[in-house]
């Protein structure tokens, strides 16, 4: 089963730093990255910069369309007006199918702000203790995951150290 997680960092380059660690773990076969993208929002910028991480992902990734729709809903819809309303409603329904509900979308909108960054990642086959060890001290906040509550708490503890 794949796990979708969204991590928020207190700096604009925090997510990019985490990508390096994620890449090393992937090369060591300690985690399989199916798809990933980052959001980096520089202080004073009107919009965040997004990037799909094709270099880390395995074959069969969801592709740019998924991330484009998600980021469009998170960061652009409020600027585009009512004409996009129906499309946004349809997209929200599709995201609910993969476990991203309205509450998660709202929280991401509120938490990913100028001066922060976020890592959106779809993974599987993680060697949890080794992954947690590699990310210890990164100071990231887990905004969303489709993990069980127990698994989520374990991840939160690892990043809080």
The pLDDT tens digits of the residues spanning 1-55 come to 678 888 999 999 999 999 999 999 999 999 998 888 889 999 999 888 888 876 6
In the sheet that holds 49-52, the strands lie side by side as 49-52, 32-40, 117-124, 3-9, 140-145
d(CA 137, CA 55): 25
Q: Helix, strand or coil for residue 48?
A: coil
**pLDDT at res. 118:** 92
d(CA 159, CA 71): 24
What are the residues facing 86 on neighbouring strands?
none
Where does the pLDDT of residue 155 fall: very low under 50, low under 70, confident under 90, or very high at 90 and above?
low
For the chain, which residues make up each domain, given as ranges? 2-159
Nearest to 33 by CA among 51, 14, 19, 16: 19
**pLDDT at res. 159:** 47
d(CA 101, CA 115): 25
**pLDDT at res. 161:** 44
Retrieve residue 138's tokens. Answer: 């990164």
Position 129 pLDDT exceeds 80: yes
Nearest to 70 by CA among 40, 34, 98, 30: 98
This prediction's pTM: 0.72
CA 59 to chain centre: 19
**pLDDT at res. 93:** 52
Residues 6+ apart with CB under 8 A from 147: 3, 5, 155
Percent of the chain surpassing pLDDT 70: 61
d(CA 36, CA 33): 7
Position 124 pLDDT exceeds 80: yes
């Amino acid at each position: 089963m794949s796990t979708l997680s969204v991590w928020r960092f207190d700096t604009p380059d925090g997510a990019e730093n985490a990508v390096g660690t994620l890449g090393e773990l992937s090369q060591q076969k300690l985690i399989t990255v199916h798809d990933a993208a980052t959001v980096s929002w520089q202080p004073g910028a009107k919009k965040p910069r997004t990037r799909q991480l094709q270099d880390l992902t395995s074959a069969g990734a969801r592709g740019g369309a998924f991330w484009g729709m998600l980021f469009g809903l998170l960061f652009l819809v409020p600027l585009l007006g009512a004409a996009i309303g129906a499309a946004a409603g349809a997209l929200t329904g599709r995201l609910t199918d993969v476990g991203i509900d309205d509450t998660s979308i709202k929280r991401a909108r509120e938490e990913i702000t100028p001066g922060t960054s976020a890592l959106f990642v779809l993974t599987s086959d993680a060697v949890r203790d080794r992954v947690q060890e590699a990310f210890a001290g990164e100071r990231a906040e887990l905004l969303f995951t489709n993990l069980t509550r127990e698994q989520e708490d374990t991840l939160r503890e690892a990043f809080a150290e």
